[in-house]
Chains A and B, each alone.
Chain A
Amino acid sequence: MDKLNNQAVLQKITARFGERITIATEPAGLLTFETSKENIVEVLHYLKEDEELQFNFLTDITGIHYPEQALPIGVVYHLHSLTNNIRIRIKVFLEADKPTIASATPLWEGANWMERETYDFFGIIFEGHPNLVRILNVDDMTVFPMRKEYPLEDPNRVDKKDYFFGR
C-alpha cells in the first residue's frame, strides 16, 4: 500500500466537500483546515468512516480563544489515522456569545471528557453531549478561565502586594 500523504488527503477532502473546507495549510507538516459548525459532524464522520482515510483515532479536542476575531472561540480537533499513520487538524470558529457546536460523542466515546474539559475552560456548548458539566474546576465557578479576559491569578488574593512585583 503506498503511503497516503497530506496532498492526497486534502484532495480527497476537497473533492468531497469543496467550498465547505477553507484555509488549508500545513504548519510543521500537519494538514490543517477550517470548516464551519454546520459541517463539522459530516466532516468528522466522513474522515472516520471513509475506507481509504480511516481517521479512526481521536487524538484530542481542545479550544482556543482569539478575542480580536469576529468569530473568537475556536474548537480544534486532532485526528489520527492509525492505518495510514497520518494526522490531521480541523478547526471550527464560533461566536463569542453562547458558542455552540455539535458533539463528537456519537462518533467517539472518548470525546466525552475532552468536550467536558473544553466546555469547562472555554464555555463551548457541545450539543448532544450526554453530560456537559464542569470537570476540572469547581462546580459553582461562573467564568470560563481559559478565555483571555480572565486573569491567571486569583483576583481575591490580598497577600500579594503589587509593589513587591514592580507592578
Chain B
Amino acid sequence: MSDIKLVSAPPGVEGSGFFATALDKAVGIARANSLWPLPFATSCCGIEFMATMGSHYDFARFGSERPSFSPRQADLLMVMGTIAKKMGPILRQVYIQMAEPRWVMAVGACASSGGIFDSYSVLQGIDEIIPVDVYVPGCPPRPEAIIDGLTKIQELVRNESLRRRESPEYKALLGKYGIL
C-alpha cells in the first residue's frame, strides 16, 4: 500500500452498488483537484512561484501539474508581481480570454494592493480591473504561503455552486468591472 492520500468522497447516500451525492459536490471535487493555473508572473513573486513549482516545494502535488500558458485552457489566473498601468489592459485581456469557470489569485503585496510602489505608474491592486478570489500577502510570499493560497482557492472551487456563474450577483460583479 502506498501512503499517498487520495481525496475522500463527498458526503452522500451509500448502499450496495450505488453512491448518490449532489452533482455540485462531485464536480467541485474534480475541479478543485485539477486546477490548471496560468502563471501571470511579472516580477519577484514570479521567482518565488518558480521555487514553488520546483522540486523543493512541488506545486504539482495539488493537482496543478500543468501550468497552462494559454488563457483559453486555464482555470486559475495567478497574478504574481507588480502590475504597472501599462500592463493593466493586457491582464484584463488575459482574464477576458479565460473560459468560465475562472478564479483569480493575487499573489503578493503588489498584485493585491500595489505594495510599496505607491507611484504614478503602478496599478494599486489588480482588483481595480478584475475580480479577485484570493489574496496572498507577502513581499514576496513564501512558497508555503502561495501553496496556502492555492488550498484556499481549492476550498472555494470545491464548494462553489454550479449555478453561481449564472447568478445575477456574479453578473453584477463582472458588470462592475465592465467585463461581460
Contacts and interface: CB of A to CB of B under 8 A. Distances in A.
Interface stretch (B72-80, B116-124, B143-151, B158-166): B116-124
A154 B86 contact: no
A137 B86 contact: yes
Given A138-B85, A138-B86, A152 B120 contact: yes
20 contacts: A136-B121, A137-B86, A137-B121, A138-B85, A138-B86, A145-B120, A145-B121, A150-B120, A151-B120, A152-B118, A152-B119, A152-B120, A153-B118, A153-B119, A153-B120, A154-B119, A154-B120, A154-B124, A157-B124, A159-B124
B122 to A, nearest CB: 8
A154 B125 CA distance: 13
Contacts of A153: 118-120
Interface in B112-133: 118-121, 124
A149 B121 CA distance: 16
Interface in A128-166: 136-138, 145, 150-154, 157, 159
Given A152-B120, A154-B119, 9 more contacts: A137-B121, A138-B85, A138-B86, A145-B120, A150-B120, A153-B118, A153-B119, A153-B120, A157-B124
Interface in A45-89: none
Give the secondary structure class of B's interface. loop
Contacts of A157: 124
The 7 lowest CB-CB distance pairs between A and B, nearest first, are: A138-B86, A154-B120, A152-B119, A153-B118, A145-B120, A138-B85, A137-B121
Contacts of A136: 121
A2 to B, nearest CB: 47
Contacts of B119: 152-154
Contacts of B124: 154, 157, 159
A136 B120 CA distance: 12
Interface string A98-118: 000000000000000000000
Nearest to A136: B121
Contacts of B86: 137-138
Nearest to B125: A159
A50 to B, nearest CB: 41
A109 B133 CA distance: 47
A137 B118 CA distance: 15
A152 B121 CA distance: 9
A145 B119 CA distance: 10
A138 B89 CA distance: 11
A153 B124 CA distance: 11
A154 B124 CA distance: 10
B49 to A, nearest CB: 24
A74 to B, nearest CB: 22
B118 to A, nearest CB: 6
Contacts of A154: 119-120, 124
A41 to B, nearest CB: 32
A33 B85 CA distance: 38
A138 B90 CA distance: 13
A107 B174 CA distance: 53
B88 to A, nearest CB: 9
A139 to B, nearest CB: 9
A35 B136 CA distance: 52
